[in-house]
Amino acid sequence: MFRRLARYELYLCLLFNRGCRFSALRAFFAAVSRLGDGIAWYALMLALPLVHGLHGLAASAHMLAVGGGGMLIYRQIKRRTERPRPFRLSRAIKIGTPPLDKYSFPSGHTLHAVGFTVVAIQYLPLLVWLLVPFGLLVAASRLVLGLHYPTDVVFGALIGFGVALLSFMLLPGLQYYSTARRLHAGTDDF
């Protein structure tokens, strides 16, 4: 059963990786992946307090907490699983950009994209229209560029979502501030 799953997953890797044959598509996903390295998220965390004051500061602090928690979990899992990246197992997979580290499971880019998106849209719901498509592109970039298997991306997303949800239980003061601010403003759509 596991061999069949591995073969199917490799087939999906090859299917997604076909995008690397087209230089414009490869360049696009490499740029998305680079932004997903942290550049876009750090820029957002810096911009939120400037645009939204204390509300933005609370959102940024919450995002930093989720990023830190996600990174701790990510490093522990990656050290224990040591799953080779798809391009290392199949010569048919063309690498679209150099990886940040040696191993594949889970996708840290996807973990952080989902975790940061869940937190940011809790504070600023209108960001959903920007962050959800960007997060999906980050996840897709990891497959197109030959850096991850689909299960790496799925588990990265699940971990990011779980860390974000857990953060709302562990950081109720920030969540309370977010809800109180929206209720005081009389709107749900900053």
| Whole-number Cα distances in Å, 176 to 16, 45, 93, 180 | 41, 19, 47, 6
Tell me which H or E stretch contains 7. Answer: helix 2-17
Q: Are 97 and 33 in contact (CB under 8 A)?
A: yes
What is the rounded distance in angstroms from the CA atom of residue 5 to the CA atom of residue 79? 23
Which one, of 151, 147, 148, 164, lies nearest residue 67 by Cα? 164
**142 burial level (CB within 10 Å; 0-12, 13-18, 19+):** buried
Total Cβ atoms within 10 A of residue 180: 11
Question: Could you tell me the end-to-end alpha-carbon distance of the chain, in angstroms, rounded to an integer?
Answer: 48
- In tens digits, what is the pLDDT along the chain, a chain of 190 residues? 667 777 888 889 988 998 888 899 999 999 999 999 989 999 999 999 999 999 899 999 999 999 999 999 999 999 998 888 888 888 888 888 888 888 899 999 999 999 999 999 999 999 999 999 999 999 999 999 999 999 999 999 999 999 999 998 887 665 555 555 554 555 544 4
Q: Are 83 and 129 in contact (CB under 8 A)?
A: no
